[in-house]
Structure 1
Amino acid sequence: MNLKKIEIACFNLESALIAQKSGADRVELCADMSVGGTTPTIETIQQARENLTIDLYVMIRLRGGNFVYSGAEFEQMKSEIEAIKKLGVNGFVFGIMKYDNTINIEQNKALVDLAKPFPCTFHRAFDEVLDYKKALVDAISCGFSTILTSGTFPNVMEGKEVLRQLVIQANNRIEIMPGGGLRSTNISELNEMVKANWYHSSAITDGSEIANPEEIIQLKKKLQS
């Protein structure tokens, strides 16, 4: 039986340590929760790597706002990937769009190739696409291993039908990882319908920026039951 897995989005070192201790399978490390996550500092990544034995994926995102980047920003994303690759991380998380809400295949593919041999997740920029069936094919063609998405809706419960369709269409060519408003209170219902292998949550339940250990334990428990 395929054991289902949980990735926890962590906005600080404390959350990353809580995630590991509470049974998370992977950490997605970011900074600046207020804008939905940006690239963490080299120092934070190094500290996380020294303290984590579970997989560590790092967000590459220079700023909040849209996912269309200037030439200079794109070059900066490249240099960040090159620097962070040397720190012993296990994967990267990013996503570049065009102004027409389609995936920028050329730029994403360049970053995926640069990140090799590490796998890359296309993050929730995916939720801005207008044609999710085409966007799925585009993400595969870029070489991504995972798409993090709420099904193009504000949260996973509203997007569950699209998530179900994406998992079917992906047909194991790429992981569809539901995330966005995912909690221990809705993961059982979502998993029953969507049948993904990976799920993503910040596990923050109190308005702070720190993951709740009990929430992670419950997410994991409900996913395995």
Structure 2
Amino acid sequence: MILEVIATSVLDAKLAQEYGVNRIELISGIMEGGVTPSYGLIEQVVRAVDIPVNVMLRPHANSFCYDLDDLEVMVRDIRMIRELGAAGTVMGMLNLDKQIDIPALEMLLSEAGNMAVTFHRAFDELEDQQAALQTLAKYPAVHRVLTSGGKSNVLHAKQEIAELVKTSGDLPIEILAGSGLSVEKLDDFIRQTAVHEVHMGTGVRVNNQALQPVDPKKLQAAVSILSHFK
């Protein structure tokens, strides 16, 4: 079982590593769903921890549809994320028809180098997630999909997540379930979906508040729950 936790600061990242988190998603703009953090923050976090750091590649929170100017920004950002030593990057792009923007995806994958790519919750705006999963699995660099099963809260999408997990079992891609997970609901959610990777943000923060730092007690509790699963 893999626990990925959102970090927005060096302190978040250090606490995540100290309490046994497996991987970090580094972002800024947590209230906006995450945007690309500063190069300084990326560099300091990568230096501060030994666990994998996956960095958000998202130039703005307006939508998941990007024009040529946006893509030029993203190309420069992904190059810098790679040069700063991040283990992976987190991205997602759609066209105006709410389908995966394949040309944009391929453009950015060509710049990713050896970084592991997570396709983020732009996935939740797609009409046919099963077909999209098959498409993304064709790209070796795309290691996983972060999804809430098309719902605003993943706890309301247990059946959808379970179906995606089942499909992914025959594909070289993982389902990373997140959005709305809490320590209290974690055990039941994993048992009902059979997911192998979970993503937590406000659920492991002080008072469940997005702008508070991560809570060591909640991190410890989440890691303990995951230790009961293979």
TM-score (ref. length: structure 2): 0.93
- What is the letter of the counterpart of residue 177 of structure 1? L
**2-structure distance, mates of 1:222, 1:18:** 18
> Which of 93, 96, 103 does residue 100 from structure 2 map onto?
103
1:9 shift after superposition: 0.9
**In 2, are the aligned partners of 1:26 and 1:54 still within 8 Å (CA)?**
yes
**In 2, are the aligned partners of 1:78 and 1:111 still within 8 Å (CA)?**
yes
1:115 alignment partner in structure 2: 112
2:15 alignment partner in structure 1: 18
Percent of aligned pairs with the same amino acid: 28
1:180 alignment partner in structure 2: 179
**2-structure distance, mates of 1:109, 1:151:** 24
**2-structure distance, mates of 1:68, 1:157:** 27
Q: 1:205 to 1:162 in 2, by over 3 A?
A: farther
> Which of 29, 37, 46 does residue 32 from structure 1 map onto?
29
What is the CA deviation profile of residues 117-176 of structure 1, one whole-angstrom value per residue up to 9, with x for unaligned ones? 111000111111111111111222344110000111111111111110001111242010
- What is the letter of the counterpart of residue 47 of structure 1? Q
Structure 2 gap segments, 5+ residues each: none
1:215 alignment partner in structure 2: 218
**1-structure distance, mates of 2:115, 2:151:** 29
Structure 1 gap segments, 5+ residues each: none
1:197 alignment partner in structure 2: 196
**2-structure distance, mates of 1:111, 1:130:** 23
- What is the letter of the counterpart of residue 129 of structure 2? Y
Q: Describe the SS at the equivalent of 2:154.
A: coil
**In 2, are the aligned partners of 1:96 and 1:108 still within 8 Å (CA)?**
yes
**2-structure distance, mates of 1:166, 1:105:** 21
**2-structure distance, mates of 1:114, 1:221:** 37
- What is the letter of the counterpart of residue 116 of structure 1? G
> Which of 131, 134, 144 does residue 134 from structure 1 map onto?
131
**1-structure distance, mates of 2:190, 2:118:** 20
Q: 1:216 to 1:24 in 2, by over 3 A?
A: same
When structure 1 is superposed on structure 2, of 64-73 and 206-215 the one drifting more is 206-215
Structure 1 position 69 matched with structure 2 position 66: yes
> Which of 41, 45, 49 does residue 48 from structure 1 map onto?
45
**1-structure distance, mates of 2:183, 2:227:** 12
**1-structure distance, mates of 2:196, 2:52:** 16
1:164 alignment partner in structure 2: 162
**In 2, are the aligned partners of 1:10 and 1:27 still within 8 Å (CA)?**
yes
1:67 shift after superposition: 0.2
**Superposed structure 1 runs of 4+ greater than 6 Å apart:** none
1:205 shift after superposition: 4.2
- What is the letter of the counterpart of residue 174 of structure 1? I
- What is the letter of the counterpart of residue 144 of structure 2? T
**1-structure distance, mates of 2:6, 2:17:** 12
RMSD: 1.2
**In 2, are the aligned partners of 1:60 and 1:92 still within 8 Å (CA)?**
yes
Q: Describe the SS at the equivalent of 1:185.
A: helix
| 1:139-154 paired onto structure 2 within 5 Å | 139-143=136-140, 144-154=142-152
**In 1, are the aligned partners of 2:125 and 2:150 still within 8 Å (CA)?**
yes
What is the CA deviation profile of residues 75-121 of structure 1, one whole-angstrom value per residue up to 9, with x for unaligned ones? 11011111121111100001001111111122112212210211100
